[in-house]
Amino acid sequence: MRSSKLLKKLISGFVFAVFAAITGTGLSIGQERIPHAQDKPPGPALSPEEAIARMTVPDGFTVELIASEPELVNPVAMTFDERGRVWVTESLEYPRMSAGEGRDRIRILEDTDHDGRMDKFTTFAEGLNIPSGIAVGYGGVWVANSPDILFLEDTDGDDKADRKTVVVTGFGRFDTHELPNSLTWGPDGWLYGLNGVFNRSVVQDPVTGQTFDFTCALFRINPRTHEFNLFAEGTSNPWGIAWNPVGDPFLSACVIDHLWHLTETGYYHRQGGPYPPFTWKAESIVSHKHQKAAYCGITYFDSDAYPKEYRDRLMMGNIHGNCINVDILHERDSTYQASPAEDFLSAHDAWFMPVVQKTGPDGCLWVLDWYDRYHCYQDARRDPDGIDRLKGRLYRIRFRDTPRAGAFDLRKESNARLIERLHQANVHFREIAQRLLSERDQPEANTLLEQLVLDDARPFKTRMHALWARLGARPLSREFLKSLLACQNADVRAWGIRAAGNQRINDPEVAQLVAALRYDQHPRVRLQVAIAAGKIEHVPTVSTLVDVLAQAGKDPLVPRIVWQNLHPLLESQTEEFTTSIASLESDKPAAVIEILPRVADRLLAAEKPDTAAITQLVSLLLTTSSAAESADRALQILTQRIRSGELSGDSLDTVRQTLSGGLTRHFGTPLADPLTVSSLELATSAGISEAKSRAAALLDGHSVDGPQIRLLNALITAGDRSALPIAASMLSSGGHSYGLRRTAQAIGRIPTFDAVTVLLEQLNTLPEDVQPAVIEALTDRTDAAIALMTAVADGKVVASTINANQARKMLSLKEERLTDLINRHWGIVRSQRDPARARLISQMRNTLRTSAGNPVAGQAVFRKVCAQCHKIYGEGADVGPDITRNGRASFEQLLSNVFDPSLVIGSSYQALTVVTNEGRVVTGLPIEDSPQRVTLKVQGDKMEVIARSDIDEVVRSELSLMPEGLEKQLKPEELIDLFAYLTLTGPPDDPNARPLPGARIEEQSSNNPPEFTALVADILPGFATEKSGVDGVAVLSNYNGRPALRTHPVSRNEPCRLHGSMTVPDSRKPVLRVSIAADHRGDWQLVVRINGTDKLASIIRSPSAMNRWKDIEIDLSEYRGQTVRIELLNKANDWSYEFGYWNAVEMLAE
């Protein structure tokens, strides 16, 4: 019999296998490489029998093969039908991005003799294109086949699809390993599915017409009406949905944390991309991780086929780990916390890719195995022919001699028999019986189900499946809803609330019962009240949400769900909110206090902010002893709005009048108290006289520490006349460089020419590392920029103090007089940087800052190579600039001038090329250009005089006389020695000589936020940060061969944020290059945000012990010629050694 079956298998799989071979798929030949996220080459594929022999499972368990190639190839998704048959989608097309007809199919696998091996294989549908999800129900087969969700019907019973309906459309194909997937029936009778973070989709609900524009989300479809909506959003590339016995959904996800409990209306942490405004994201339910970070499939195992210690736990496929991981759920208020258990299966085979896990009709775990050398999309896109499209396996993990399921067909069973099946210990039958009872929706059965739900003597799981079977049928009656809401079981009450909300019931009595449950003792009940409150007529939504929040305690989920449902209402129901807050007891609950700054921020964003309500809330915070931190946050939000001009006029008058008393009470407390600083800062910004006087008095000491800078900015915001003389004194105080830079930036905000004069007068007296900030302030507006360039023209400011970016910024002002001053007295800025030069500079920056050269030997190198054109300390020729004081304002400027000399050419050093009548070509620096002659100074300090009558053509060059390629002329050690010499502020024998700013990395660290920006500037000039977590900010002289800035996320939920601005070249393909690394013991998430939009999100980990640095380039073509705001986020991934190491942030152009 077995040989006969084998012959059938070979015949049935032959056509599909040959098709795969002749279309260019199959094994690639050549040197094997290490695929992404694997530690070594995967080696050759194993036969199914060899693969099973390698697998390890707990004692008493065995792995059995159910089906394999050639009948089963490239399996993606699977489900069971009412007869125990397995429906599998197969994909040859992966990773094809284009939509349209494909070569993929759906197969039905059947074990006709019930011996545990599939022996009948039927092709149900073909012509699909990466069918990534499948579910059977409601008379057909539901298939995720992006851009569509399809409904396929077999109208004549021959197991062939002969009718196709597009249920919804609009799913993306931007990233074909993140397509809509995991179609799964939910407890409420809707069909649920997932979509990934990099697969933008725009789907219109065919019932309401509402359009949903989303990426990573848990969506659902009503099987009867085809209504579409989003249940929750967030995570990464989720693949797999599981439901626990109370009907809560759990997802497995890649890259970020692996396990998530999703709740309706929740928005969860994203791997990348922007959040909607005012989102308060929820987090995962794990603080641990298993092997690596690529998960596919998840199931809540609930069957008596296994011993108790293996039941009621989540089992997840780990693709990179080649295993089945296990997590155990523990209730945590309204949500859960998971803990790890021992792996259930380890394959010890890099080809094993468990994409689906489900409980079979025999009660065992069934595992679908894609079986391929490539785990990752990156390898599949790079080498599509390397995908093995001819393999696939389906396994069963069996405990001892667990019996086979035998023959059955639930479609033919009576309602009474299906209700009996709700008592079975194997969840497989409970779920299918539940769905069939919902589909049939017969009154007699519905009545029996309702009786079963309310029977406290019946098993809990049976009652819940009976409830869900009833929910999936016709709407619940008013009386049954009332019974659910009054039930002694908390989870039944919670589902009663969900049912009332989903039915959008309009019944005052039911609404009153739902509203009363906001005081329920069980957090899951209160959670559902928060979600349903806005759906049910006659429930006072805002006050109900406030009451639920007031009881949240330390619940990590309820406040976030309350906020997601509350903030859209705040603008239109402000009075209801403030009244609800006022009605709470005088000692406001902590969860309420903590949300008020968010409320203030949301109200301030309204087109017409209700300033009275905002100030009422802030006053409450100021008078609540336990609310200091929240009050501080709220005050800073108001100050920011005043400074930006968003809060002005009558609204500002309201703030001033209402908060004056509350703020002034804090003026007498020490300035070290954050609330004192924020109160005084806000009051001063608002123009309150007493505050301005107090702030001015506190600034008389001329300190340039953080609180003083904040108060100075407040005086400037208020337009106080004392601000400029105070700022001028602070700038000349000789304080620390960070504070002086912040002071200069503040003066730049004062819109008077007197402020420009102060900056120009003090520029040359300030430390070298402060001067760039002054220049930056002077290049912000036209009058200041003209004054600066006039000072350069008059010889009062050295032109080299201005860097190329600042020159570009002034040119972007497009003022004719200014442009002329720049061109004549500063020079021409090449609009594009040679990308090869830029990369060389990055390399040299690392090499030269991490190497200790010999300046005496470097002096000899200078004499040999550079002295023909340049002079330093009185030695050398006068062809090029005397670099004693030119071109060495900083290490960065020196790097650019040496390795990319044509990027910026000083006006006095623009070369002329003269072609004589005789065809002679002479290039040099013009000394004289008159009607009579042209005199050029050429290399070696030699003069060339050419009579005007002998000249055929004169061309002004845009290239420097200094040739590129110095790195090719010198040995590496000579180059290091030369820079050791050039980066000293004096000759090697000068005891006072010290390195130029940035030339040497002094290891230092700080936990003091006011010092962070100065440390950041050592490695990433122009960037700053205000917060960093563990160990603050550190500068390292050598981290794996490069200088590095080290940061850490502030918390699991708050990243360290580096921010700055850069001008994007107006070139063919400008790119932002970010060089980063991770601690070898952990990883972290990099997010790059441009003008508020996330452009990249990537997990950073050490690829090897030899090279831990990663250089990432981001295309910024859409921002050509613009100055952009750049945010670089060091975000937590799994909270294990999340240190971010930063080496460079550069703008390159091709």
Lookup: tokens for 983: 């980066």
Residue partners of 106: CB distance under 8 A and separation at least 6? 87, 88, 89, 90, 123, 124, 125, 126, 128, 131, 134, 141, 143, 152, 161
User: Can you give the CATH number for the domain in which 256 is found?
Assistant: 2.120.10.30
Residues 183 and 235 in one domain: yes
What is the spatial distance between Cα 367 and Cα 397, in angstroms, rounded to a whole number? 8
pLDDT at 102: 96
pLDDT at 1105: 46
Residues 1011 and 915 in one domain: no
Q: What range does the domain containing 143 cover?
A: 2-43+54-399
Segment 240-299, tens digit of pLDDT: 999 999 999 999 999 899 999 999 999 999 987 778 889 999 999 999 999 877 899 999
pLDDT at 37 over 70: no
Q: Determine what percent of the chain is predicted with pLDDT higher than 70.
A: 91
User: Can you give the CATH number for the domain in which 660 is found?
Assistant: 1.25.10
Q: How far, rounded to the nearest angstrom, does the alpha carbon of residue 596 sit from its chain's CA centroid?
A: 26
Is 422 part of any domain? no
What Å distances lie between residue 422 and 195, 408, 452, 472, CA to CA?
31, 16, 10, 15
- pLDDT band at residue 209, thresholds of 50, 70 and 90? very high
Residues 177 and 231 in one domain: yes
Is 887 part of any domain? yes
Q: What pTM was computed for the model?
A: 0.71
Least confident of 14-18, 361-365, 1141-1145: 14-18
Q: At what angle do helices 771-778 and 782-793 cross, to 10 degrees?
A: 120
Q: Going edge to edge, which strands form the sheet with 259-261?
A: 241-243, 249-252, 259-261
Residues 17 and 80 in one domain: yes
Mean pLDDT, residues 346-372: 97
Q: How many domains does the chain have?
A: 4
Which of the given ranges, 109-113, 800-804, 902-906, 1042-1046, has the highest pLDDT on average? 109-113
Check residues 197 and 141 and name the one with the higher pLDDT: 141
pLDDT at 6 over 50: no
| Contact predicate 784/778, CB 8 Å | yes
pLDDT at 411: 98
Instruction: Kindly state the DSSP code that residue 1024 receives in the 8-state scheme.
Output: B
Least confident of 276-290, 722-736, 888-902: 888-902
Residues 820 and 850 in one domain: no
User: Can you give the CATH number for the domain in which 1082 is found?
Assistant: 2.60.120.260
Is 1063 part of any domain? yes
Residues 778 and 687 in one domain: yes
pLDDT at 362 over 90: yes
Is 328 part of any domain? yes
């809509």: which residue's tokens?
180
- pLDDT band at residue 13, thresholds of 50, 70 and 90? very low
pLDDT at 832: 53
pLDDT at 794: 96
What is the spatial distance between Cα 1144 and Cα 1150, in angstroms, rounded to a whole number? 19
Residue partners of 401: CB distance under 8 A and separation at least 6? none
- pLDDT band at residue 178, thresholds of 50, 70 and 90? very high
Mean pLDDT, residues 1088-1116: 86
Question: Which helix or strand (DSSP H or E) is residue 649 part of?
Answer: helix 649-664
Residues 1044 and 971 in one domain: no
End-to-end CA distance of the chain: 67
- Count of all residues that appear for the chain in the document: 1150
Segment 647-679, tens digit of pLDDT: 889 889 988 988 888 888 888 777 788 899 999
Q: Determine what percent of the chain is predicted with pLDDT higher than 90.
A: 63
pLDDT at 830 over 80: no
Which of the given ranges, 274-278, 441-445, 687-691, has the highest pLDDT on average? 441-445
Is 811 part of any domain? yes
- pLDDT band at residue 587, thresholds of 50, 70 and 90? confident
Segment 606-650, tens digit of pLDDT: 888 898 899 999 999 998 888 999 999 999 999 988 987 888 898
Segment 496-510, tens digit of pLDDT: 999 999 999 999 999
| The last residue of a domain, from among 399, 433, 452 | 399
Is 419 part of any domain? no
Residues 1040 and 1131 in one domain: yes
Is 474 part of any domain? no
Segment 116-131, tens digit of pLDDT: 999 999 999 999 999 9
3-state class of 91 per DSSP? coil
Report the relative pairing of strands 267-270 and 228-235 from DSSP bridges.
Answer: parallel
User: Phi and psi dihedrals of 15, rounded to 5?
Assistant: -60, -50
| The last residue of a domain, from among 377, 399, 421 | 399
Residues 775 and 887 in one domain: no
What is the spatial distance between Cα 124 and Cα 152, in angstroms, rounded to a whole number? 9
- pLDDT band at residue 27, thresholds of 50, 70 and 90? very low
Q: How far, rounded to the nearest angstrom, does the alpha carbon of residue 145 sit from its chain's CA centroid?
A: 27
Mean pLDDT, residues 939-947: 66
Residues 764 and 795 in one domain: yes
Residue 1058's beta-bridge partner residues?
1128
| Contact predicate 511/479, CB 8 Å | no
Residues 756 and 867 in one domain: no
What is the spatial distance between Cα 692 and Cα 664, in angstroms, rounded to a whole number? 11
* Mean of the per-residue pLDDT values of the chain: 89
Segment 1011-1035, tens digit of pLDDT: 898 789 888 887 999 999 999 999 9
Residues 90 and 140 in one domain: yes
What is the spatial distance between Cα 1150 and Cα 1146, in angstroms, rounded to a whole number? 13
Least confident of 541-555, 881-895, 1055-1069: 881-895
pLDDT at 8 over 50: no
Mean pLDDT, residues 733-752: 90
Q: How far, rounded to the nearest angstrom, does the alpha carbon of residue 878 sit from its chain's CA centroid?
A: 53
pLDDT at 804: 65
| The last residue of a domain, from among 919, 948, 982 | 982
- pLDDT band at residue 589, thresholds of 50, 70 and 90? very high
User: Can you give the CATH number for the domain in which 896 is found?
Assistant: 2.30.30.100
Segment 517-530, tens digit of pLDDT: 999 999 999 999 99
Is 61 part of any domain? yes
What is the spatial distance between Cα 474 and Cα 468, in angstroms, rounded to a whole number? 12
